Amino acid sequence: MRPDPFAPGDDLALAERLVRFGRSCGADEIEVGIGEGEEFSVDVRMGQIENLVEAGSRYAGIRVIKDKRTAFASSSDMSEEALERLIRNAVKRAGLSQPDPFAGLADLSPIRIDPDALDIFDPEVIELEAKTKIRLALETERIALADKRISNSHGAGFSSHAARTYLAASNGFAGTYAKTFCGLGVGLQAGETDDLVEDDWHSSRIHFRDLESPEQIARTAVERTVRQLNPRKLGTRRVPVIFEPQMTGSLLGFLFGCISGTAVYQRSTFLADRLGQKIGRDELTVIDDGLMPRRVGTGPFDSEGIPAQRTVVVDHGVLKRFLCNTYASRKLGLPVTGNADGGGVGPNNFFLEPGPHDPAAIIRSCDRALLLIRTLGHGLNAVTGDISRGAFGLWIENGEIVYPVSEITIAGNLGDVLQSVEMIGSDLDFRSSIAGPTIKVAEMLVAGS
Amino acid sequence: MLSPAFDIRQRFGLDAAGLRSVLDAALASGGDFAEIFLEYREYRSAFMEEDILKDTSESFSLGLGLRVWAGETTGYGYTNDLSMDKILRTARAASAVASSGRTIPALDLRLQEGGADVYRVIRPPDQAPFETKIALVREAYEACREFSPLIKKVKAAIQDQVQFIAVANSEGLLAIDRRPLVKLTCVGIAEKDGKRESGYSGGGGRVGWEHFAGPTSPAAIGREAAREAVELLDARDAPAGEMPVVLAPGHAGVLIHEAVGHLLEADFVRKKTSVFWNKSGRKVGSPAVTIYDDPTIPASRGSYAIDDEGTIPQKTLLIEKGVVRGLLQDKLCAKLMNRSLTGHGRRQDYTDYPIPRMANTYIDRGEDDPADIIRSVRKGLYAERFTGGQVEDSGKFTFSVSSGYLIEEGRLTAPVKQATLIGSNVDILKKIEMVGSDLAFGLPTGTCSKEGQDVPVNDGCPTLKISLMTVGGK
């Protein structure tokens, strides 16, 4: 047995007591989640500590159902008096909602996943001394600023977080698990005041030992920043676009919003009627997997107590599944997938399976193309699938990067993009819970001068 | 009416002597300044879709944030356990940044009188029964649904909160505020021939229930969401490339927020990461451009009587006839830059330390007739509704147009959808060549994100003509 400085406390007993209290107040069904967390973060800039935060907190989230009518409540006032008042109010308030045949807690699953097997708690994250964390942040910034091409720093930071989740419900579910996160990163600027470029690089992991080193982070941040210096504008044209892994991640985030069961029953997604249909190239397989050990999106159960699972969402281009919490699954007559997140649906580890291509070979394969490195703005419309965003990129000619471009926009439609992914890179790296490798899209509209 | 001192004791279990002893503890190992931020918030919401009132929600938030300065370093701790033992532990955690051993005693607390008179509440949001709110949601929902048979889905929601804050610091300041905030929103989805579009509208502010009458009635909000969705069904894709752009009054204020406001927040200027850092007193825009941020506009979503550091806010001139005149300050930046406070220190909640933020940002009215502005464009884009924007410190920004019209030969013609406008602020300010006389504010439902902290804001502008701008259409 490893020592566990973040051992389960009494909050599972509190949650179970509140469930019994809710039932005694007249709730047909009740679910109580309690979260407690400890946070540390340090920001440094120009070699000095700017901010240091150390804190702990607890909160409770409650769902009550009476006569198929639902009421929610939450509190960071954890006195039992306040929590009991909230539950009494919620039971009373449920009467104001209208009966909904699909309302209700999840069906209790016989499957239980052992949190230890998922390896999502690293005691080292908690045991790290503050001065070590400060040193890592200072070192990352120092290495980056040593590069003469860098003109200013947004600062570097280290943060760590340890959280324990408790969930008890009147369907008989009771469970708890602990999870850690840590992150190290730096943001930089290069260039003159009126012609600045900026970028950053972060590493964020469950285990301290999986973090990138200060050298790796600083070097990547520097390279990403300076490669944008002296950008040109582009004339408006249709060209192939290569998405760097983070940009593929952002595209997948948009896809997630379009295949979430909530969006589907609300008909606020262009993919609502496409289940079972071919929506992309044969090479495209997209998976949501809550069971991958040591990953940021991993956990033994979701916010309704449904066990985590692996779900193939897009299988060789065919849309196989929508990701559903219990409510969406009942509305749509589809299986639950362990993606309940508060009142809605959230990703576990949602990713595009890597392909055979070396990212450098993808660049070499293009005569003229845009390598998309960053986007700005909010132009993603799930209802239509339309994409229209501000963009920063590198222009490619004859298989080589020739100069950076900025003040352009890229536009297209997610449906068209999925149908025109021509090459998939081998460089999948789980930097966050939504991840993808480099991809090449046959054509998008790039607008500039 | 209860006394403020009673309110603090009642809500947080602390009296003036208790606050003072926490401040003393926070400064025990040195440091220049200590501050306690106490917050109690009640939040309620109701949500309707698929013709039924689907659920309601109620939330209590209670907590304390403790800040200590030592030189330029901030130590911060927070807790939602308000036992004296836990508060003192939080004070020690925040004071870990100080080790000078020099001790500055905290001054006795004196309650600050007054503050901007901005809240316009006859029927307080937190005191109405849920039935009242549900009736408003239903009215918006039904008006949207009934607008057209093409409307297939509607979502309507109401959210109200009251936030009680108290700020006490080692300089002897004790300030309290009780902030109401209400928001009613509606989304309609229209479908025709397999095509789908959505429309959005909303209302609210630092107001009471009486606000939802007349032109700001829930029915008007519901109809507007439906109108936008239905109109977009027949809209064509926006043209792409560089062209003159006319921004409609009100909603386009988000451009001023992104392109100017963020870059005049004092922290970015102090760190020289803002493109404006060396431009104080210098001309950056056309003489038609005057920009303010005003946290004291009555009833407005971005307003407050005191900021989250207890400072009484002021209407702040940012750009006067094209020349940079002011910055948005919080206490830390004002101290380090030796400038006066403007009352723009804001935080999302007790878990965050304050940073300089916008409140209600707007470009002031000009002298041009809006009709003349449109008439002056031979071929361009009239941008009417926006879904949001983003800027980076370098001044490059984008914002998303959800709907607008083509301008052809000085007239608005076909409706267009989904365009992205992109530019850089130093460039755009020079290209604002006409400013209308019709200043208006956007939908009072906006939220601004910075460093992971969300705060309510509003922004506005009159009709504006930008001589040339990059439009990304399809």
A316: CB partners within 8 A, 6+ apart: A282, A283, A284, A285
Instruction: Please tell me which of the candidates A100, A193, A413 has its beta carbon nearest to residue B52.
Output: A100
Binned at pLDDT 50, 70 and 90, residue B182 comes out as very high
CB A196 within 8 A of CB A149: no
Distance in Å, alpha carbon of B72 to nearest chain A alpha carbon: 7
In the chain, the amino acid numbered B346 is R
pLDDT band at B2 (very low <50, low <70, confident <90, very high): very low
**Across residues B47-73, what is the average pLDDT?**
94
Name which of B40, B32, B39, B163 is nearest B94 in CA terms: B32
Nearest in space to A187 (alpha carbons), one of A245, A137, A243: A137
What are the two backbone dihedrals, phi and then psi, of residue B380, each rounded to the nearest 5 degrees?
Answer: -170, -165
pLDDT at residue B10 in the model: 84
B209 lies within 8 A of chain A by CB: no
**What does the pLDDT look like over A19-73, one tens digit per residue?**
999 999 999 999 999 999 999 999 999 999 999 999 999 999 999 999 999 999 9
pLDDT digits over B141-169, tens only?
Answer: 999 999 999 999 999 999 999 999 999 99
Residues of B in contact with A65 (CB under 8 A): none
Spell out which residues of chain A touch residue B471, defining contact as CB-CB under 8 Å.
409, 447
For residue range A87-107, list pLDDT tens digits in order: 999 999 999 999 999 999 999
Q: State mean pLDDT over B180-187.
A: 97
Residue B98 and residue B91 in contact, taking contact as beta carbons nearer than 8 Å:
no
Q: How confident is the model at residue B473 (pLDDT cuts 50, 70, 90)?
A: low
Read off the pLDDT band of B474 (50, 70, 90). low
Q: What is the ipTM of this complex?
A: 0.89
pLDDT, one tens digit per residue, over B223-273 is 999 999 999 999 998 888 899 999 999 988 988 898 899 999 999 999 998
pLDDT-based confidence at residue A1 (cuts at 50, 70, 90)? very low
| Residue A422 burial (CB count, 10 A) | 17
With contact defined as beta carbons under 8 Å apart, do A180 and A125 qualify?
A: yes
- pLDDT level of residue B102 (50, 70, 90 thresholds): low
Q: Which of A112-121, A268-277, A318-327, B420-429 has the lowest mean pLDDT?
A: B420-429
Chain B residues with CB inside 8 Å of A72's CB?
Answer: 55-58
Q: Percent of chain B, pLDDT > 90?
A: 75
Do the beta carbons of residue B409 and residue B378 sit within 8 Å? yes
Best of B74, B150, B398, B431 to substitute, by most chain A Cβ atoms within 10 angstroms, is: B398
Give CA–CA dist A259/A315, Å, rounded: 14
* pLDDT for res A2: 38
Per-residue pLDDT tens over the stretch A172-215: 999 999 999 999 999 999 998 778 899 999 999 999 999 999 99
Cα–Cα distance for residue pair A245/A435, rounded to 1 Å: 7
Residues 6+ apart with CB under 8 A from B196: A267, A270, A383, A384, B189, B190
Give the pLDDT band of residue B101 (cuts 50, 70, 90).
low
Question: Tell me, what's the pLDDT at B1?
Answer: 36
Average pLDDT over residues B113-117: 86
Q: Is A12's pLDDT higher than 80?
A: yes
B54/A contact by beta carbon, under 8 A: yes
Distance from chain centroid for Cα B11: 27
Question: Which residues on B lie below 8 Å from A94 (Cβ)?
Answer: 56
Q: What is the DSSP letter of B340?
A: -
- The lowest-confidence range among A323-332, B33-42, B182-191, B267-276 is B267-276
Average pLDDT along chain B: 92
- The rounded mean pLDDT for chain A is 95
What residues of chain A lie within 8 A of the CB of B263, using their CB? none
pLDDT confidence of residue A3? 41
Q: What are phi and psi of B30, to 5 degrees?
A: 115, -165
- Interface mutation target, options B58, B79, B399, B426, chain A, most CBs of A under 10 Å: B58
Nearest by CB to residue A51, choosing from B59, B351, B353, is: B353
Contacts 24+ apart (CB under 8 A), A18-21: A18/A60, A18/A62, A18/A83, A18/A84, A18/A87, A18/A168, A19/A168, A19/A169, A19/A170, A21/A84, A21/A87
> pLDDT higher for B126 or B119?
B119
Instruction: Report the distance separating Cα A260 and Cα A262, nearest Å.
Output: 5
* Bigger pLDDT: B128 vs A132: A132
Percentage of residues in chain B having pLDDT higher than 70: 97
What one-character-per-residue DSSP string does B247-307 give? EPTBTTHHHHIIIIIGGGBHHHHHTT-STTTT-TTSB-S-TT--EEE-TT-TT-TT--SS-
At A389 the pLDDT is: 86
DSSP H or E stretch at residue B76: strand B73-79
> Cβ–Cβ contacts within 10 Å for residue A385, how many?
21
Distance CA A322, CA A329 (A): 9
Q: What is the pTM of this model?
A: 0.92
* Whether B70 contacts chain A with CB within 8 A: no
Query: Which residue among B94, B241, B420 places its CB closest to the CB of A379?
Result: B420
- Cβ distance B167 to B306 under 8 Å? yes
Q: Is the pLDDT of residue A377 over 90?
A: no
What's the count of helices (H) and strands (E) in chain B, helices before strands? 10, 24
Per-residue model confidence as pLDDT tens digits over B337-348: 999 999 999 999
Chain-centroid distance of CA B136 in Å reads: 24
| pLDDT confidence band for A8 (50 / 70 / 90) | low
**Which of B 138-157 lie inside 8 A of A, CB atoms?**
152-153, 155
Out of B49, B396, B473, whose CB is closest to A406? B396
Q: Is B107 helix (H, G, I), strand (E, B) or coil?
A: coil
Q: CA-CA distance, A161 to A6, in Å (whole number)?
A: 11
